[in-house]
Amino acid sequence: MISETEDSAAGARSSSGSPVRTAVVGVGYLGRFHAQKYARSCRSSLVAVVDTDAQAAARVGAELGVPGFTDYRELYGQVDAVSLVVPTPMHHSIGCALLEAGIHVLVEKPIATTLQEAQALVDTARAHGRVLQVGHLERFNPAIVAAADRLTAPRFVESHRLAPFKQRGTDVSVVLDLMIHDIDLIQDLVGTPIESIDAVGASVFSGEIDIVNARLRFQGGCVANTTASRISLKQERKIRIFQDDAYLSVDMQQKILTVIRKKDAAPVDSPAQVSIEEQSFDQGDALQAEIEAFLRSVLEGTAPLVSGEDGLRALQTALQITEMVNLTGRQGVA
């Protein structure tokens, strides 16, 4: 547990606007990128990186000019905020320990493996007055941000997230690997509770679900149809949202927003019955934006854009979809 003196010092540092002392726990493929973003940010002073693989910790530490530790507890009293980029089964134990030590945490998605673990993270962050942000990266996609500003009351949503097969990530189902991004987006955009879920899926190249389709019915009448596959020949990340006055299409990969509306004044026999508005956005750096938002929350004491409660909600839906697929009997290769 962090001392009251250390806790006060961290609060003073945040209120004064001084850079946040940061570290990354888990510097594998994705964690290394987190460390690079912290090192680049003017809001951050990267203090160290941590990995149980001593060689990985030393390599990334040397790249960024900071120490590489093998035990996250060496960070106690040295840092204010951490990105937790370790395997999901370790999120709960390490995340709670960091929060109890007075350290703000940005945890990669999914927030945890079980609802009980996720709730414990949320409760621990609240009890210790620390920021808990969950790494649902698509929330920082500029095309999604622009689309959210155009929404009124979605009536139907359709999303597709397709990716070629890669061995990395197949220790979990495609629901927790890919679909959870769209689950979080859809629930945030619709903004009402889910009433029912129907889902089907199949195992093809792994022992887990590799392709799944889910139909979510929300209070208020909105229906969302979402598909995720990691056995596609192409990569695609698209979402289409239909409401009473418009149809919005978002290409999350190409960062393109298309808005289609009916022309009220168009003659009946006119070939141009609709107006089409298309906006393209710079590719940008969603991970840098996510980390900057986390650091702002730490410095300003504000709620994160993607809270622990948001991560818990997305996990709950993902687990319900997985349970539904298993209950109905997924087809797969033995």
Q: Give me the pLDDT at residue 196, please.
A: 96
Residue 264 banded pLDDT, cuts 50, 70, 90: confident
The token pair at 173 is 């189902």
Domain annotation for the chain: domains and CATH numbers: 4-130 (3.40.50.720), 139-287+316-332 (3.30.360.10)
Closest by alpha carbon to 235, among 178, 283, 280? 178
What tokens were used for 140?
């920082």
Identify whether the C-beta of residue 171 lies closer than 8 Å to the C-beta of residue 208: yes
State mean pLDDT over 261-271. Answer: 67
Nearest Cα to 12, choosing from 304, 301, 295?
301
Q: Which residues of 193-218 are buried (b: 16+ CB within 10 A; e: fewer)?
A: ebeeeebbbbbbebebbbbbbbebeb
What is the model's pLDDT at position 328?
76
- The pLDDT tens digits for 217-247 are 999 999 999 999 999 999 999 999 999 989 9
Do residues 277 and 105 touch, judged by C-beta distance below 8 A?
Answer: no
DSSP string of 25-49? E--SHHHHHHHHHHHH-TTEEEEEE
What is the predicted pLDDT for the residue at 263?
A: 78
d(CA 243, CA 283): 27
Token code pair at residue 306 = 């993607």
Judge whether 299 and 44 are in contact, CB under 8 Å: no
pLDDT by residue (tens digit) across 193-215? 999 999 999 999 888 899 999 99
